[in-house]
Structure 1
Amino acid sequence: MFRRTFWFTAGAAAGVWATTKVNRKLKQLTPESLAAQAANKAIETGHRLKDFALDVRDGMVQREAELGDALGLEAPVEQDRALPAQRRLAALPHKHSYNRNEDY
């Protein structure tokens, strides 16, 4: 008798557990639930993409600063050293320009 009661109770508990699992799964598969899950995944993906873009931007700024330091582009200009004067090419006046397409 004790054995029958044990197996009856175990079967009833398994049935309740299985029914609860099936009902939860059915609620997860309703259109409203699926839409909410998709929206949550989209929002999560958007946040991850934003974080990735910010990390890339930070890396770009850091690398640009490293390159600027390496090339001396960020170096301050010394006050006592003046910039060189702007050079201009002197245009020599030509009496006659040569054009090989002209007939002489």
Structure 2
Amino acid sequence: MRRGFWFVAGAGAGIYTVVRGRRAAEALTADGLRDRARALALGARLFTDEVAAGQAEKETELRERLGLPPTGHRQLTARPARKEGTP
């Protein structure tokens, strides 16, 4: 019984080590590093998009609460045209 247990435990540990080793070796190849860099760039882009969406949502909420125009720009009122030579 003990020998069988240790045989199975050793075989499982060996298989685990081989699989992890292959994954690590693949991750350190040029293609693996390129994939990781692309994934990091994609994650950063998704994070930036989420932050921008949250910022826009919060700005809209605050503008509604404060009664400001929703466009983010001041509403301009018509001014009379200036005559030349007057400030």
TM-score over 0.5 for the pair: yes
Q: CA deviation at 1:13?
A: 3.7
Q: CA deviation at 1:49?
A: 0.8
> Which runs of no fewer than 5 residues in structure 1 stay unpaired?
74-104
CA distance in 2, matches of 1:8, 1:59: 61
> Which runs of no fewer than 5 residues in structure 2 stay unpaired?
70-87
CA distance in 2, matches of 1:15, 1:24: 14
CA distance in 2, matches of 1:5, 1:62: 67
- Seq. identity, %: 28
CA distance in 2, matches of 1:58, 1:13: 52
Corresponding position: 1:25 with 2:24 = yes
* Partner residue in 2 for 1:44: 43
Cα deviations by residue, 1:9-66 (Å, 9 ceiling, x for unpaired): 5434432321222112111111211111111121121111111111111211221121
Q: Quick check: which has more Rg, 1 or 2?
A: 1
CA distance in 1, matches of 2:64, 2:4: 77
User: Quick one: structure 1 residues 16 and 63, their matched pair in 2 at CA, closer, same or farther if it must change by over 3 Å?
Assistant: closer
CA distance in 1, matches of 2:3, 2:57: 69
* Partner residue in 2 for 1:60: 59
TM-score by length of 1: 0.52
Q: Which has the higher contact order (CA 8 A, sep 6+)?
A: 2
TM-score by length of 2: 0.60
CA distance in 2, matches of 1:9, 1:63: 63
CA distance in 2, matches of 1:3, 1:61: 69
CA distance in 2, matches of 1:11, 1:28: 26
Q: What amino acid is aligned across from residue 36 of structure 2 in structure 1?
A: Q
Q: CA deviation at 1:3?
A: 5.1
